[in-house]
Amino acid sequence: MNYLITGATGSVGKSIVTQLRALGQEVRIVTRDLDKAPAGVEALQGDFTKGDLPSRAFEGVNRVFLFPAQGGVDAFLKQAKTAGVEQIVVLSSLAAAMEYERDKTSMSALHHLAVEKAVMASGIPYTFLRPGSFANNLLFWAYSIQTGATVYEPYANSVQAPIHEADIAAVAVVALTQDGHQGKTYPLTGPQALTRIEQLNCIGTAIGKQLHFQEIPADVFQKEMEKYMPLPVIKMLLEYWSDTVTIPDVVLPTVEQVTSHKARTLAQWAKDHASDFSPFV
């Protein structure tokens, strides 16, 4: 069975490809930039959001991993349906559950929920993966850590349960390679709820450097970040961090339940990404 992986140049997609190949599975990816394709896999060039993939992209493919591209997934789903794809494993978001008031206006929640609805409307059997906060989001601190020892952000005591990208990929691989996961929705978190200070300390321990979290007002953070990212994204982050000061992220056991392996800790993620925080040379 061949597997078609979209978003294979991203952190989750790369890990899915690696884990599938470790199982001896044949993998095909589609990418707009072949230079970024993982080594040793069949890579086809194309933009799946435009529905212009070559027909051979789906040859021998029964199951697909679908990245929730901003450009939309309708055109891809039409191609997949015509090609007879039997199952789609979708990378969504925990926010799509609309569990909290903040999710009702969250860019992430609205986008991922729209992707889920499009997949359901396609009639192709699906599995939805809904991870919460990605540990990879902490890479935003990399420059501050590379050039100094202090991170300046609000809500130091906000509590998240960051998930390692390899654990999201591990759940995806199980859903792709094993039966019994169609129609399932899997909410995913890391195994620990940690304050942002504790998250920073995990990175410091991994790189052998004393790091400091300097709390700043939310409005100061917003003003500075407006230089680098859209305002709705900034507000989404601030609302999430603010809420999780009083209502911490709930740790979910889904990764271990699905994969039969304990979820990776943030300390492990920090070790795996220690080079990302190394000083410039």
Task: Give the number of domains in the chain.
Answer: 1
Q: Distance between CA atoms of 264 and 20, rounded to whole angstroms?
A: 18
Q: Kindly report the CATH number assigned to the domain that includes residue 58.
A: 3.40.50.720
Report yes or no: 162 and 279 within 8 Å, Cβ to Cβ: no
In this prediction the pTM is 0.96
Which DSSP category does 163 fall into?
B
Q: What is the pLDDT of residue 53?
A: 87
Q: Which residues of the chain have pLDDT under 50?
A: none
User: Has residue 41 been placed in a domain?
Assistant: yes
Q: Give residue 57's domain range.
A: 2-132+165-188+251-263
User: Has residue 281 been placed in a domain?
Assistant: no
pLDDT digits (tens, 9 = 90+) for 130-168: 999 999 999 999 999 999 999 999 999 999 999 999 999
Q: Which amino acid is at 71?
A: G
